[in-house]
Amino acid sequence: MAFLSILLGSVGLGIGFIIGMCLGFYFFIYSDPEIQPFEDPVVKPISELDPTSLQELIPEIPLWLKNPDYDRVDWLNKFVANMWPYLDKAICAAIRQTTEPIFADYVGHGHRPIEAITFERLSLGSLPPTFQGVKVCETDENQLVMEPAIKWAGNPNVVIAVKISYLRIKIQLVDLQVFVVPRVILKPLVSTFPCFSNVVVSLMEKPHVDFGLKVLGGDVMSIPGLYRLVQDIIKKEVAKLYLWPQTLQIPILDSSLGIVKKPVGVLHVKVVRATKLLKMDILGLSDPYVKLKLSGEILPSKKTTIKKKTLNPVWNETFKLVVKDPLAQTLQVNVYDWDKVGSHDRLGMQVVPLKLLTPNKTMELTLDLLKNTNISDPHKKQQRGHIMLELTYAPFKEDSEVFSGPLTPVKRENGMGSGGESPSGPGAGVLLVTIQGAEDVEGEHHNNPYAMVIFRGETKKTKRIKRTRDPKWNEEFQFMLEEPPIQDKIHIKIMSRRSRMSFHHKESLGHVDVNLADVVYNGRINHKFHLIDSKNGLVHVELRWRET
């Protein structure tokens, strides 16, 4: 008898639970909530609020008021408010375009019962996001860093319709609230509009996202435990993608539109000899020499020595040129006849695309000299002789490792490349010196500053900027070295010079000596150095050591 009562009680409990769940779901979905009369909020001045109300108000105070590092940007909020109707349509169009292929992956494939997923309504509402403040961070890098605090309590109208057989389910997003503090980096800064090539975005802290989700008219986020679960999932997924140091990089400018590229390797050129050159002198001979230059470079051309009175000169001279884009750059070879008076006549020319070269492998070339690169020129077929070159492209170690990947590193045996002995000795590389600018440099008689870079007896100068104490040069100089400059110092001197000859024609504004050991060990130093013999002067220098 006891067993029968327990059995009947269990059956009754199960049936009652099922009926209760069905009735609860029905009333949850289809019952109309009682409409509460709308009442105007009570507005009081801050001075009349009690301590408890003030404490509750603190999270709503904008960051520019709480944090002195943030600037007030009312003008930006007004701009966004006026543009919001147009931004709403543009953003919604982008959302439709992005989500359509994603929805298509879930429709009608295999045994999936979903027949269609569409946006029935899509609008971000009439309330735009507001900027609580913007913090701009100063760095020594060639970039602009800012951290806007964005808050959006929106009223979006987003309804997605999902059709499954004969059932049409509507999912609505309501009461969206977002608070996020992203770090936006514009880099690198370039001289082509809009003056930066990439936008890099990352989140400095996990975002706060709150919203309601209605399915068939009922708010499923009110189910106990589901709201907290969804909040945690959203924060974890967003943090996994964009929380610092993870970043989202948005390219703005194409790499070919004047963006300054960094060196990636060294081209070793050995000018061996030339044969059967044109006769330019009265005696039927020439005085040839060769000029070498990479396309896209503003540096002066490399020159061989002049071989007097010969049509078959032999040079056997080696030069090094810094490569910035091995897939697009070409080596320009020009052979000239030296004249004591007047301009030098060009005997012939040729170009060699660097993409034909295999890294760390020497290629021997015999090139026919041409008058120019114009295919339709009738004089192009005239025989102008030949020139023999040996070319080796040696990428920097970091770039060769990245190019090869971690599973297939570049291997060398006894310092030998795949084509024989490497033209660079152990530790050979390039010292790159970029003079960004100077601050508070002041002369006694004039302020027309320029910078001098002195290293191992070689002197290089920036352009002169007139009438300023804060010049900006952003000029790069290259020093080819056979070994790392661990024991060396580089001397940087800021000078001022008048245009005309007079007393105090030149004047020193300060100098500094920089040890290069840290540059070799760290690969790069970007720092502002205090100038010696200057009251408050600083010079901003970037030093890089790239080893081949």
Cα 518-262-259 angle, rounded to 5 deg? 140
pTM of the model as a whole? 0.65
How far is 71 from 63, CA to CA, in rounded Å? 8
pLDDT 10s digits, 317-373: 999 999 988 998 999 999 999 887 778 889 999 999 999 999 999 999 999 998 877
Does residue 493 contact residue 462 with C-beta atoms inside 8 Å? no
Site of tokens 């040839």: 288
Domains and CATH numbers, the chain: 61-99+110-251 (no CATH), 265-374+381-395 (2.60.40.150), 429-547 (2.60.40.150)
How far is 460 from 302, CA to CA, in rounded Å? 16
Residue type, position 6, single letter: I
Nearest to 361 by CA among 484, 267, 483, 293: 267
Nearest to 187 by CA among 145, 143, 147: 143
- Neighbouring-strand partners of residue 433: 477, 543
In our burial notation (b when 16+ CB lie closer than 10 A, e otherwise), range 338-354 reads eeeeeebebbbbbebeb
DSSP string covering 408-459? S----BTTEETTEE-SS-TT-EEEEEEEEEEES---SS---EEEEEEETTEE
Structure token pair of residue 286: 């020439």
Residue 285 is predicted with a pLDDT of 86
Residue 362 is predicted with a pLDDT of 94
Does residue 248 contact residue 240 with C-beta atoms inside 8 Å? no
Residue 426 is predicted with a pLDDT of 52
DSSP string covering 293-318? EETT--SPPEE-----S-SS-EEEEE
Instruction: Sheet with 288-294: list strands edge to edge.
Output: 302-303, 288-294, 330-337, 345-353
pLDDT-flagged residues of the chain (< 50): 30-38, 399-422
Nearest to 536 by CA among 434, 440, 436: 440
Site of tokens 């070799």: 520
Strand 538-547 relative to strand 524-530, pairing: antiparallel
Q: To the nearest 5 percent, what fractions of the chain are helix, strand and coil?
A: 20, 40, 40
pLDDT 10s digits, 138-148: 888 888 999 99
Site of tokens 């200057």: 534
Which residues, 6+ apart, have CB-to-CB distance to 209 below 8 Å? Answer: 176, 177, 178, 231, 234, 235, 238
- What is the radius of gyration, based on Cα positions, of the chain? 36
Structure token pair of residue 196: 């930066």
Residue type, position 413, single letter: E
DSSP string covering 185-196? EEEEE-SSTTSE
Nearest to 210 by CA among 157, 171, 152, 149: 152
CA 339 to chain centre: 48
pLDDT 10s digits, 64-91: 777 778 888 899 999 999 999 999 999 9
In our burial notation (b when 16+ CB lie closer than 10 A, e otherwise), range 6-41 reads eeeeeeeeeeeeeeeeeeeeeeeeeeeeeeeeeeee
At 104 the three-state DSSP class reads: helix
How far is 480 from 482, CA to CA, in rounded Å? 7
Which residues, 6+ apart, have CB-to-CB distance to 309 below 8 Å? Answer: 281, 283, 285, 286, 287
Residue 519 is predicted with a pLDDT of 92
Residue 270 is predicted with a pLDDT of 95
How far is 85 from 389, CA to CA, in rounded Å? 64
Residue 417 is predicted with a pLDDT of 38
How far is 486 from 495, CA to CA, in rounded Å? 27
